[in-house]
Chains A and B, each alone.
Chain A
Amino acid sequence: MIHDLAVVGGGVHGATVALFAARGGMNVTLLERGALCREASGVNAGTLTMQMTRVALIPYALRAHAMWASARDWLGHEVGVVVCDGLSLAFTEREEELLTYRAGKRREAGAPIELITGAQASAVEPGVSDKVRLAGYCRVDGFANAYLTGLAYRRALLGEGVALREYTPVAGVEREAGGFALQTPTGLVRARRIVLAGGVWLEPMLAWLGVHLPIKTLVNQLAVSERVAPVMRTVVGIANGLLSLKQYPHGTVVIGGGWQGLGDRERGGVELLPDRLIGNVRLACHAIPALRSARLARAWAGLEAETKDALPAVGPVPGVDGAYVCGSVHSGYTSGPYIARLLADQLLGREPELPLFPIDRLLSPGDAPRGHV
Chain B
Amino acid sequence: MTHDLIVLGAGPAGANAALAAAQAGLKVALLDEQDGAGGQVWRQPLPGLTGLPVSAEARSGDALRAEISASSVDLRLSRRIWSVGGRFRVDALGPQGNETVEAPSLIAATGAHERVVPFPGWTLPGVIGLAAATVLIKSQGVTPGRKVVVAGCGPLLVAVAAGILKLGGDVAGIVDLAGRRDWLAALPSLATQPELLGRGLGWAVKIGAGRVPVYFGHAVKAAQGEHALERIVIAPVGRDGAYASGPDITLETDALCIGHGLVPGAEVTKLLRAEHRFDRLRGGFVPVLDAYGRTTVERLLACGDGAGLRGAIIAEQAGRLAGLAAAHDAGVVPADRFAQIADPILAAISRARPFSDAMAGIMALRPAQVAAIAPETVVCRCEDVTRGEIDAAHEAGAHDLNQLKHFTRCGMGPCQGRMCGDVAAELLASKVGSREQAGYWTGRPPLRPVPFDALMGAFDYSDIPIPEPAPL
Contact = CB atoms under 8 A, between A and B. Distances in A.
Nearest to A98: B469
Contacts of A227: 413
Contact of B398 (A35, A92, A276): A35
B461 A286 contact: yes
A259 B467 contact: yes
Interface string B446-472: 100111110110010101111111111
A272 B83 contact: yes
Interface stretch (B172-180, B205-213, B257-265, B402-410): B402-410
B356 to A, nearest CB: 33
A241 B406 CA distance: 27
Given A91-B461, A278-B455, A278-B456, A296 B470 contact: no
Interface string A287-299: 0000111111111
A36 B397 contact: yes
Contact of A150 (B86, B100, B406): B406
A286 B464 contact: yes
A69 interface: no
A34 B401 CA distance: 12
Given A274-B85, A296-B446, A131 B461 contact: yes
B92 to A, nearest CB: 10
A241 B470 contact: yes
Interface in B85-120: 85-86, 89, 91, 98, 100
B396 interface: yes
A91 to B, nearest CB: 6
B466 A297 contact: no
B453 A293 contact: yes
Contacts of A150: 397, 403, 406-407
Interface string B405-443: 111000011101000000000000000000000000010
A54 B472 CA distance: 5
A299 B459 contact: no
Given A166-B397, A242-B469, A226 B91 contact: no
Contacts of B465: 275-276, 279
B403 A155 contact: no
Given A267-B273, A295-B452, A52 B91 contact: no
B85 A282 contact: no
B361 interface: no
A294 B452 contact: yes
B32 interface: no
B403 A38 contact: yes
Contacts of A281: 452, 455-456
B399 interface: yes
Contact of A297 (B85, B412, B468): B412
A260 B467 contact: yes
Nearest to A106: B472
B470 A274 contact: no
Nearest to B414: A226
Contacts of A240: 466, 468-470
B351 interface: no
A161 to B, nearest CB: 16
B444 interface: yes
Interface string A87-107: 000011000001000100100
B406 A298 contact: no
B446 A299 contact: yes
Nearest to B456: A282
A239 B398 CA distance: 39
B400 interface: yes
Contact of A274 (B89, B402, B463, B471): B89
Contact of B466 (A36, A102, A147, A279): A279
A166 B399 contact: yes
Chain B interface size band reads 35 or more
Given A54-B471, A98-B469, A278-B455, A295 B397 contact: no
A277 B445 CA distance: 10
B93 to A, nearest CB: 10
B472 A292 contact: no
Contacts of B398: 35, 151
Contacts of B403: 35, 38, 150
A16 B470 CA distance: 26
Nearest to B411: A298
A282 B464 contact: yes
Contacts of A327: none
Contacts of B396: 151, 154-155
Interface string A21-52: 00000000000001110100010000000001
B399 A42 contact: no
Contacts of B399: 35, 166-167
B342 to A, nearest CB: 32
B452 A283 contact: no
B402 A38 contact: yes
A84 interface: no
A271 interface: yes
A154 B399 CA distance: 12
A52 B445 contact: no
A275 B83 CA distance: 10
A122 interface: no
B380 to A, nearest CB: 14
A298 B416 CA distance: 8
Contacts of A293: 451-453
A273 B466 CA distance: 14
Contacts of B463: 282
A292 B461 contact: no
Contact of A226 (B89, B397, B442, B449): B449
A285 interface: yes
Interface in A52-108: 52, 54-55, 91-92, 98, 102, 105
A35 B400 contact: yes
A188 interface: no
A310 interface: yes
A199 interface: no
18 contacts: A35-B403, A52-B470, A98-B469, A105-B472, A151-B396, A166-B399, A226-B449, A239-B469, A240-B468, A241-B470, A258-B467, A259-B467, A267-B273, A272-B83, A274-B91, A281-B455, A296-B452, A297-B449
Interface of B: 82-83, 85-86, 89, 91, 98, 100, 273, 396-400, 402-403, 405-407, 412-414, 416, 442, 444-446, 449-453, 455-456, 459, 461, 463-472
Interface of A: 34-36, 38, 42, 52, 54-55, 91-92, 98, 102, 105, 131, 147-148, 150-151, 154-155, 166-167, 225-227, 238-242, 258-260, 262, 267, 270-279, 281-283, 285-286, 291-300, 310, 330
Smallest CB-CB A-B distances: 6 pairs: A240-B469, A241-B470, A147-B406, A35-B403, A295-B449, A274-B83
